[in-house]
A and B are shown apart, each in its own frame.
Chain A
Amino acid sequence: QKEVEQNSGPLSVPEGAIASLNCTYSDRGSQSFFWYRQYSGKSPELIMFIYSNGDKEDGRFTAQLNKASQYVSLLIRDSQPSDSATYLCAVTDDKIIFGKGTRLHILP
């Protein structure tokens, strides 16, 4: 069975530091990789997607993909209290599979 694994957390990071969120996946044929942010009681919101090996940067967010290691990560620079949320990793080939999410807590 195809799986997407994330540490459930909570991951506590001081304000202004770099938050590093990790995700591994089991299906080597996976094609596309996504990070969604979900605030408590709200719907998931797409924040990053990456299709190729390497890094992709968008503002304070960097997604990193290593297909050989079946590993995708999200770095959040200059963490803010507003970044406190659950971050869902999602992986696709013929369908999308979500991880269970990592709760991130930014300490003021």
Chain B
Amino acid sequence: DTAVSQTPKYLVTQMGNDKSIKCEQNLGHDTMYWYKQDSKKFLKIMFSYNNKELIINETVPNRFSPKSPDKAHLNLHINSLELGDSAVYFCASSQDLGTSGAYEQYFGPGTRLTVT
């Protein structure tokens, strides 16, 4: 049974388009994250949500907007896609921040976004 799932697995689109990536976790965790892993494999946190509230919002363009309809879901919407947005995007979840399990993260399979 999949713990953290993402859709789609692959996304190929043209510059200027708007796209969304969906993430769901069935671990009962309170905190969810979005990461970007670039071509050099550097994994960088973008957003963190705790109980549907934005906790961390790193310096990312405002074209990226996370949305959390409930604590099991965290979606990522990207407007006006650019070539530099091409990367693998990972969703992750963990127990509540401030607990001993915080940051013991479980990652989804990733979404490979290619912007042409």
Q: Chain A interface secondary structure, helix, strand, loop or mixed?
A: strand
Q: Residues 32-67 of chain B: 1 if any A CB is under 8 Å from the residue's CB, otherwise 0? A: 000000001111110010000000100000000000
Given contacts A43-B90, A43-B108, A43-B109, contact A88 B103 (CB under 8 A): no
Q: Is the CB–CB distance between B107 and A44 below 8 Å?
A: yes
In-complex Cβ contact of A100 among B42, B56, B90, B109 (8 A):
B42
Q: Is the CB–CB distance between A100 and B103 below 8 Å?
A: no
A50 vs chain B, min Cβ distance (A): 11
Of all chain B residues, which has the CB nearest A49?
B104
Complex alpha-carbon distance, A39 and B32, angstroms: 22
Q: Is the CB–CB distance between A44 and B43 below 8 Å?
A: yes
Give the residues in chain A near B106, CB-CB below 8 Å: 46
* Chain A interface extent, by class: 20 to 34
Q: Is the CB–CB distance between A44 and B90 below 8 Å?
A: yes
Q: Is the CB–CB distance between B104 and A43 below 8 Å?
A: no
Give the residues in chain B near A88, CB-CB below 8 Å: 43
Give the residues in chain A near B48, CB-CB below 8 Å: 95
Any B CB within 8 A of the CB of A21: no
- Chain A interface (Cβ < 8 Å from any Cβ of B): 32, 34, 38, 42-46, 49, 51, 86, 88, 90, 92, 95-98, 100-101
Q: Residues 2-19 of chain B: 1 if any A CB is under 8 Å from the residue's CB, otherwise 0? A: 000000000000000000
Of all chain A residues, which has the CB nearest B33?
A96
B98 vs chain A, min Cβ distance (A): 11
Give the residues in chain A near B42, CB-CB below 8 Å: 98, 100
Q: Is the CB–CB distance between A98 and B107 below 8 Å?
A: no
Q: Is the CB–CB distance between B43 and A46 below 8 Å?
A: no
Q: Residues 84-96 of chain B: 1 if any A CB is under 8 Å from the residue's CB, otherwise 0? A: 0000001000000
